[in-house]
Chain A
């Protein structure tokens, strides 16, 4: 069962995704990736990472970037960082 922290992080990332992908009604799920969200490009992906780092006050490690192929991957890595704060 997902921890509340992961759920709240996922909700925050959904809000950030709505802003970055310019879609106020976007609803994300863990399995979603570049082919599922219109406007997901290398550029917007980088912008999303920046938004997450700023919001949660941490920096992604370079090796973590290649693990984040989906929204679920992004949420998992973010949750790990937040839990270590």
Chain B
């Protein structure tokens, strides 16, 4: 039986989204279409212009109800703006009608399909981008889970500390005198300064995307508020609420003495740690990987995700997890987009992080 409703496609510009976030004009337009935190994130992208459409929604004609929407954000690659599609949603009741395709297609028409990229991963999104003329490839992402139970945790901790020290000591003579894990120090940052960015560019290896410095600063300075201040206080007080829903994004420099040997961006919550970007000096991989293992140890029953194969091998050898899987993450790209042989990607590529 056919539906009685008719639909319309509506797009929202960066300027309209900012107005909505700030509580001004357009107050009735966007609730239920996109969360404020995500809207704030995409609108704050350093390559966004006020007139850029960032969100497309399919609404029931004559109403404010959105039944499908998509959002995208720009990135400068090789001097040209490309658009990552970062979210796609369709009301369960309205699936099968091509509404997500209509939402994506409406933005792709404006951006130019040759400048649209997607790594959202669902088979439906792959089909949508195939319809738009894209090709799809896949890359591996390593996921670890099921940390050993409490009875073995202490033993694992002790053996891990010995293992980390053993990894570090041969490389750093001064570390032999240390009784704790050492040989390196960590500096947390919310900006990528020029020396760090120079290090990143030097150690991008075969990465398909070399991120611009403003993009890193954008990622590290998202406003990640997922609750009202009251709910946040309640969650902090431990009365009720799920603290596991909170997460942080941190930039971490790994220093051996005064020398930067590694930089990574991690997204971590109480139960999940994901290495979104990782750049390191091959001669100091032990220190860098050990520092990431330290972060894992600090979490309660975490899952861990990385796209760096050497790091995954290291974590696997550590025995911190009982389960490891390899997910094949899709990447849809236009035919004009050149994929070099043996390229690598970072887990943060195309991720809106929200």
Interface residues, chain A, with chain B CB atoms under 8 Å away: 31, 33-36, 40-43, 45-47, 49-50, 62-63, 65-70, 72-73
> Top 5 nearest A-B pairs by Cβ distance?
A34-B96, A62-B105, A66-B7, A65-B102, A70-B2
Q: Say whether A43 contacts B105, CB under 8 Å.
A: no
B9 within 8 A of A: yes
Instruction: Check if A62 sits within 8 Å of B106, measured CB to CB.
Output: yes
26 pairs across A/B with beta carbons < 8 Å?
A31-B1, A33-B1, A33-B2, A34-B97, A35-B1, A42-B97, A42-B100, A42-B124, A45-B98, A46-B98, A46-B127, A49-B131, A62-B9, A62-B105, A63-B9, A63-B106, A65-B99, A65-B101, A65-B102, A66-B8, A66-B9, A66-B58, A66-B98, A66-B99, A66-B102, A67-B6
Contact of B98 with A68 in the complex, beta carbons under 8 Å? yes
A61, B105: Cα distance in complex, Å = 9
* Alpha-carbon distance between A64 and B8 when the two chains are bound, in angstroms: 10
Contact present for A65 and B96 (CB under 8 Å): no
Residue among A50, A63, A66 with the most chain B CB within 10 A?
A66
Please report the C-alpha to C-alpha distance between residue A68 and residue B96 in the assembled complex, in whole angstroms: 10
Which chain B residues lie closer than 8 Å to A33 at the CB level?
A: 1-3, 96-97
Across-interface contacts of B128 in A (CB, < 8 A): 46
CB < 8 Å neighbour of A36 from B1, B105, B106, B130: B1
B130 partner residues in chain A, CB cutoff 8 A: 46, 50
In this assembly, does B63 line the interface, its C-beta being within 8 Å of a C-beta of chain A?
A: no
Which B residues are within 8 Å of any A CB, using their own CB? 1-3, 6-9, 58, 90, 95-102, 105-106, 109, 123-124, 127-128, 130-131
- Assuming A69-B3, A70-B2, is B97 touching A45 (CB within 8 A)? yes
Residue among B9, B95, B131 making CB contact with A34, cutoff 8 Å = B95
Q: Nearest Cβ in chain B — how far from A2, in angstroms?
A: 17
Write the chain B residue with the least CB distance to A33: B2
B2 pairs with A46, CB closer than 8 A? no
B-side contacts of A41, CB under 8 Å? 95-96, 124
Q: Is the CB of B96 within 8 A of A62?
A: no
Q: Is the CB of B90 within 8 A of A42?
A: yes
Of all chain A residues, which has the CB nearest B98?
Answer: A65
Q: How far is the CA of A39 from the CA of B1 in the complex (A)?
A: 16
Residues on A with beta carbons closer than 8 Å to the beta carbon of B127 = 42-43, 46-47
In the bound assembly, the distance between CA atoms of A62 and B98 in angstroms comes to 10
A36: which B residues are within 8 A, CB to CB? Answer: 1
Q: Which residues of B contact A45 (CB under 8 A)?
A: 96-98, 101
